Chains A and B, each alone.
Chain A
Amino acid sequence: MVSADLISLAAQSCENAHYGNSSGCSFPAPSLWTFIFKPWAHVGMDLNKPMLLSVICMVLIVVFFWGAFAKPKVRKPGKLQLIGEMGLDFVRRGVARDMIGKEGDRYVPYLVSLFFFVWLMNLMAIIPFAQFPVTSVIAFPAGLALTVWVTYMVLTFKRNGFVGGIKNLCVPPDVPLPIYFILTPVEFISNIFFRPFTLAVRLFGNMFAGHLMIVMFSAASWYLLSPSIGALYSGASFVMTIVLTAFELAIQALQAYIFVMLTASYIGQALSEEH
């Protein structure tokens, strides 16, 4: 609630920041405030824009896949079904089969959901009116990483038993004995704490930084716009905004792909017998 008041205070003090106008406002550089939204409503909890966007993402995915797969046809599939099949095939072949193997087919639904949910939340960064990557709020990638971590742990202990599971997590094979004294604690910490943490933070950081850049250049192109030499800077900033938007489009897909790729690799490792 405090942050909301601050936002409104900051917004009031410099309503229309612009280079050379009389209110004397400096450049409204994007900051952490850019990622904190004033709650719209309070229904048991604060509801804000990222939450709404995540719900919209969920609805869009469900609607798309419902349209594609609810009444599938064996012969002459519709366009939507073909696109859905391509997406499914991409995750099945490119991720599940590659990283896990034949057994990976069981985890395709999980990986498909993860990939499209993450991708769509990333994509919100460049969709007009949304214009905010949901995954640049740590709670969303953290929640997904949590599900990955739980899956990883459950599969590890289910497949290998308790001792085997600990061994799977801490003792990599084919290493000379003395090295284990160093490697075992490193592996333990890495697998149990760092992996889920980095999984979430990698996605968050990429989206956070990308959004920051786009906001900065778009703010600058407005702030610098004036009937003077400054218009050149404004134009350059605008071009940068466009370029970064295109760049982000690639990064969004790539980060979603990396997210599921790593998830699949963790699952594959949990399922491997000898490890």
Chain B
Amino acid sequence: MIAHLAAEGPQNPLVPHASELIIGLICFFIVFGILAKKLLPSINKVLEERQDLIEGGIERAEEAQAEAQRTLEQYREKLAEARKEANALTQKAQEDGSAIKEELRSEGQRQREAIVAAGHQQIEADQKQAAAQLRQDVGRLSVELAGRIVGESLEDEARQRRIVDRFLDELEQRAAEQAPADATEGSAR
């Protein structure tokens, strides 16, 4: 039986069977036909659409980015402007402030001078008044003195002279007491 098998043997495995060849080719061409005519065109269309979608999305995103950038620039410009304005305002305020201060100071000075001047006038007036008073007093005192002298009845000349000297000393003393007080009062102002 083995001899029989060897003699008949299976055919050369490298020689194709016509029927198998045909079936194989038919199967392949069915696969190829359906894929090439129907399925791959449809998926390719979808892949292209998806590509477009993605690219469109990227483009839109880029546009949005640019827009955002522009807005940011605008905001920055505005911010810089506002800052400049604020600086200008601050400076102006400072200038104004110093001007006001200066004005106030000069005003104060003027007032002070006015007050001092008024003080001086007052003093002068007081002095005048005092002088007038003094004159009046001197007059009265003179009359008083004269009365006294007359009252003492002119006994002797020496005595009269003493009275007059004493009176004048008294007067000087009074004047000396009054003058320093006036001087201190004037310098204190």
Chain A contact patch, size range: 35 or more
Which residues, 12 to 59 on B, are CB-close (under 8 Å) to A? 13-25, 27-28, 30-32, 34-36, 38-40, 42-43, 45-47, 49-50, 53
Nearest chain A residue, comparing its CB with the CB of B48 = A74
Whether B11 sits at the interface, judged by CB under 8 Å, is yes
Question: Which residue of A has the minimal Cβ distance to B51?
Answer: A74
CB-based contact A46/B16 at 8 Å: no
> Separation in Å of the B97 CB from the closest CB of chain A?
67
Please measure, in the bound complex, the distance between the C-alpha atom of A61 and the C-alpha atom of B32, giving whole angstroms.
10
- Do A66 and B16 touch across chains, with their CB atoms under 8 A apart? no
CB proximity to A under 8 Å, residues B153-174: none
A147 to B40, CA, bound (A): 20
Which residues of A104-132 have CB atoms within 8 Å of chain B's CB atoms?
Answer: 108-110, 112-114, 116-117
Residues of A within 8 A of B24 (CB): 51, 54, 134, 139-140, 143-144
Partner of B30, one of A58, A77, A84: A58
B40 touches A112 (CB 8 A): yes
Residues of A18-69 at the interface with B, using a CB-CB cut-off of 8 Å, are 31-33, 35-36, 45-48, 50-51, 54-55, 57-58, 61-62, 65-66, 68-69
Residues of B within 8 A of A68 (CB): 39, 43
Q: Is the CB of A143 within 8 A of B42?
A: no
**A32's contact among B10, B25, B38, by CB below 8 Å, is which?**
B10
Whether a CB of chain B sits under 8 angstroms from the CB of A79 is no
Given the complex, which residues of B lie within 8 Å of A66, measured CB to CB? 34, 39
Q: Given the complex of chains A and B, what is the CA–CA distance between A47 and B49 in angstroms?
A: 45
Q: Is the CB of B16 within 8 A of A74?
A: no
From B15, B28, B40, A143 is in contact (CB under 8 Å) with: B28
| Residues of chain A within 8 A of B53, CB atoms compared | 74-75
A35 touches B13 (CB 8 A): yes
Contact string against B for A residues 146-177, beta-carbon threshold 8 Å, 1 for contact and 0 otherwise: 11000000000000000000000000000000
B32 and A113 form a contact (CB under 8 A): yes
Nearest chain B CB to A69's CB is how many angstroms away? Answer: 4
Q: Point out the residue from A65, A138, A146 that lies within 8 Å of B14, measured CB to CB.
A: A138
Using a CB–CB cutoff of 8 Å, the interface residues on chain B facing chain A are 1, 5, 8-11, 13-25, 27-28, 30-32, 34-36, 38-40, 42-43, 45-47, 49-50, 53
Given contacts A6-B8, A77-B46, A113-B28, 20 further A-B contacts (CB under 8 A): A3-B8, A13-B1, A32-B10, A36-B10, A45-B22, A47-B19, A51-B24, A54-B27, A61-B31, A62-B30, A68-B43, A69-B42, A72-B43, A73-B46, A75-B50, A88-B43, A112-B40, A138-B13, A139-B18, A139-B20
Sample of 15 A–B contacts (CB below 8 Å)? A47-B19, A51-B20, A55-B23, A58-B28, A70-B39, A70-B42, A72-B42, A109-B32, A109-B35, A110-B36, A112-B35, A112-B40, A138-B15, A143-B25, A204-B14
Nearest 9 A/B pairs, CB to CB: A139-B20, A139-B16, A109-B36, A45-B19, A58-B27, A72-B46, A69-B39, A113-B32, A69-B43
